[in-house]
Structure 1
Amino acid sequence: MSRLSRSSALVAVSALLLTLVPGAAQAAPDDRAGTWLTHQLTDGLVHNDQYSFDDYGLTADVAFALLATGGQASHVADIRKSLATHVDSWTTGVDFGSDDVYAGSVAKAVVLAEATGGDPRSFGGVDLVQRLGKRVSTDAPTVGRIQDRSATDYANTIGQAFAARGLAVAGSGKADEAIRFLLKQQCAGGWFRLNFAGKAKADQSCDAGKRATTSAPDTDVTALAVINLRPVPHKSAAVKAAIKDAVAWLKHHQKDNGSFGGGPATEASNANSTGLAAWALGGSGACGAASKAAAWVKKLQVGDVASGKPLHGQRGAIAYDRTAYDAAAQDGITTETQDQWRRATSQAAPGLGYLTCG
């Protein structure tokens, strides 16, 4: 298993528990996607058959999707138990004989524990809040930034968003600093960038990076920032403004057909980005845009397929895009394409709850 495979810092692999707040639109669950996702679990984990490893980060994404779609409490409990058992393998380099700690994975694990009813201060015998707190910088100019303890630091804004939410919900004294650094990753236009500035840069803000062409707009990161910031308790005026500006940016950059592209490497319309945007928009009360995005995703979901057809038995799964759907209609979901389908479904399923937003 590669270092990147286990890191939650990878773009477009993250999703969070749908947490409704007063005034937010109520989501109607899509249990078909949830049921398909439960069939991807082996002993409470998603196993990658192509490369033969248990994918802990994707397993967490499945748990978040199941919580959002509802009706799968026993499977969520199985996931929590299995991830707790493997918490060190997920968040550290123990399996490689190193003392590395991966900040993005720890942050995601904190949120997973909180969202599924576990104790983030004793998850598989580990105090994840403390482990994450130690990965939050206290040195200027990066105060509040999460950072890996390893030869290469893979931490990015996705992990920072998980950290901000997880630490805030846990009541950690590091929460405010983590939130402030996250907000620095939002450009004046409203979007959030994926990658941080170099640690030596005096100005760690997105706008400073924009001038250096290193702060490209990213739909996935922007949506995830909204999804993460909304459950933060006792939101400051700055947090509320950040959410408002991010939602406005998402609405402005939605394509006429309702879809979204992702960041620079995934600019074409896809279910992952569109589903995350629908989730963020719907949860923030932008029902019209959310419903339009959900309708686009819905066209990529497998319905009832006749016996003998390649997609028979895959009801509820969501394709990454039309090309992926058409290929599976011919050849089925193969070992080589299985991972993409799992990621697309786990990220897009919560957004489908806003088909009838309002």
Structure 2
Amino acid sequence: MKLTSGLAAVTLTAGLVAATLAVQPAAAATPAPPTRLAGDWIATQLTDGIAVGDFADIGLTIDAGLAFEAMGDTARADLVGDSIADTLVTSADFPYGYAASDEGGTTGRYANATAKAAAFAGRIGRDASTAYDSIDLVAQLEDLTDDTTGVIADESSFGNYANTIGQAFAVEALARAGSDEAAAATGALLAQQCPAGYFLFTLGSTACADVPSADTTALAVIALRESGIGSARVAGAVSLATQWLESVQLSDGSFAGDASAPGKNANSTGLAGWALGEAGRTAAATRAAAWTRGVQAADPGACATQAPTGAIAYNAEDLASARTSGLGAKTGVWRRATFQAAPVLRWAPPASGPLGLTAPTSAAAGSKVDVLVRGLAAGEHGCVTFGTAKRLVTGTGSDLAVSFDLPATVPAAHTFTVTTLSGAQSATSTVAGPPAPAPVVGDLAVAKVEKVGRNNRFKVAVACDAAVACTGKLKVRTVGKVERADDTSARLVVAKSAYTVQPGRTSRVTLTLTKPARAVLGKKRIRVVATQTARGAEPVATKFWLRRR
């Protein structure tokens, strides 16, 4: 969708150097916070409320619903809640039920799916026991939870794939429902926490020496917070887990994946930042949100690319690729990254001030100038343009210098513009460029005595050795007073003319005697002075004699 851009412009004008910058605030653009951009893109990825790729992915669909709910978009979250109603169990339209499915004569019941669907129903304000006519999610979840150990498990001919993430959703759903199984399930979940604070992915595992998972730990923290369990034991587990998350946060605010997905990525960063934010560790959540915003496609104005606005890339490499080639075969990767990472954008730091930019108060033709961009939030993308040149930049939360090369010839004005999708305030500043070249009148070359022809004309030479054209007016007057026919004496204007001589050239300027000069110029010579003038230039006077041929 096309969004109104916030923008600011600076005009670098040739002329006198300005003493101050004139700044005029403009109207604010339509707000476009990163959560809204992400939510709008997620909505485009759902068909009748379902995430459909090679198949209808109900788990990913619920991720979208969880994101909508976390970002406060209740209408879209409710739509997802309604849309999954016919997908939870095997039906004519959905032969592979999400929570319960026909396995060829037997019915498989899946713990992770049941727990996730039940937890989602609770988050959007529905009773998971009665939300869907086809299944009582709470009753099925209780059946899949061991009465003694509290550990969840699948009932399926395909085996048991329950894990700690499903266990966390089960704790949330059972606790919200007031189930007798909630306490044992909570104990089973907390048993998955290692002394360092992270949670193991595999239920029943004691391999705390393995590479820990920020994703699993984050989802456990979020579920425990959502469960409403207020025990000291749960509070201690959440505190220990968030301390561990903070300890493994990278210096740029991101988080790395586990052994199956090494390297910093949006899924891990988004989930970890979301968990930290929910637990009140806002400084760490803000840093994670800023990094996530930096890999969100939001390329405005002239810097628009093929990466879809609002979508969140798995990592910086995927964002760079999508900007030139679109999502292509990685659409599914972008969906999962966006659906899981979007909620952390709630903690994206705002800009420190209104959007704007300034340029140097003077600049030489052909020089490099740094334009200073203000008001870009950390992770926010902006497009700085100068003519056909453009720079896609990412905010750091501080002023940002952007370099441009000025052309060799300076026009009347140079305009720089910064555009964003953030809806920040606009501002326009005008600054002066380099002074215009000083006018040059050229060098007058005359003989000691110049002769006037019968047509009352004479010529003088003007040489121009400057880099710009020599222009001016030439006026020839008598040096002293001369006697006129009426027996009076006065200084006379002898001749005058305007001229232009191109750089590196010498031109002859033709001068015609005035009528008073014709009357007094006889066979005797008269002393004259030629004065060259131009606006902004010092006058130049040259004396010589004038006589008729």
Give yes or no for contact 2:270–2:342 (8 Å, CA) kept in 1.
Answer: yes
In 2, Cα distance between equivalents of 1:304 and 1:189: 40
Shift of 1:196: 1.7
Unaligned 5+ runs, structure 2: 1-32, 90-96, 351-549
Q: Match of 1:58?
A: 60
Shift of 1:315: 1.0
> Aligned to 1:231, what secondary structure does the other structure show?
helix
Q: 1:36 to 1:97 in 2, by over 3 A?
A: farther
Aligned mate of 1:31, from 18, 33, 36: 36
Shift of 1:239: 0.3
Structure with greater proportional helix content:
1
Q: Which amino acid aligns with 2:59?
A: G
Structure with greater proportional strand content:
2
In 1, Cα distance between equivalents of 2:118 and 2:241: 24
> Aligned to 1:100, what secondary structure does the other structure show?
strand
Q: 1:178 to 1:66 in 2, by over 3 A?
A: same
CA-atom RMSD in angstroms = 1.9
Give yes or no for contact 1:29–1:68 (8 Å, CA) kept in 2.
Answer: no
Aligned mate of 1:138, from 147, 156, 169: 147
Q: Match of 1:330?
A: 324
In 2, Cα distance between equivalents of 1:297 and 1:116: 25
Give yes or no for contact 2:175–2:229 (8 Å, CA) kept in 1.
Answer: no
**Cα distance per residue 1:84-142 (max 9 Å; x no partner):** 12111111222765411110000001011111233211232111100000000135xxx
Q: Match of 1:92?
A: 100
Is the aligned partner of 1:276 residue 2:276? no
Shift of 1:76: 2.1
TM-score normalized with structure 2 length: 0.54
> Aligned to 1:230, what secondary structure does the other structure show?
helix
Is the aligned partner of 1:341 residue 2:334? yes
Aligned mate of 1:188, from 173, 184, 195: 195
**Cα distance per residue 1:215-265 (max 9 Å; x no partner):** 531100011111010122242111000000000000111111111012211
Give yes or no for contact 1:29–1:70 (8 Å, CA) kept in 2.
Answer: no
> Aligned to 2:310, what secondary structure does the other structure show?
coil
Is the aligned partner of 1:75 residue 2:76? yes
Aligned mate of 2:292, from 294, 297, 305: 297
Number of residue-to-residue matches in the alignment: 309
Q: 1:42 to 1:97 in 2, by over 3 A?
A: farther
Unaligned 5+ runs, structure 1: 1-27, 198-205
TM-score normalized with structure 1 length: 0.82
Is the aligned partner of 1:43 residue 2:48? yes
- Taking the TM superposition and a 5 Å limit, the aligned residue runs for 1:112-261 are 112-125=120-133, 126-139=135-148, 143-151=149-157, 152-197=159-204, 208-210=206-208, 213=209, 215-261=210-256
Shift of 1:311: 2.0
> Aligned to 2:259, what secondary structure does the other structure show?
coil
Shift of 1:29: 7.1
Q: Which amino acid aligns with 1:60?
A: I
In 2, Cα distance between equivalents of 1:237 and 1:96: 46
Q: Match of 2:498?
A: none
In 2, Cα distance between equivalents of 1:130 and 1:307: 55
Aligned mate of 1:353, from 335, 346, 355: 346
RCO comparison, higher one (Cα < 8 Å, 6+): 1
Shift of 1:58: 0.4
Q: 1:319 to 1:29 in 2, by over 3 A?
A: closer
In 2, Cα distance between equivalents of 1:347 and 1:90: 19
Give yes or no for contact 1:80–1:118 (8 Å, CA) kept in 2.
Answer: no
Larger C-alpha radius of gyration, 1 or 2?
2
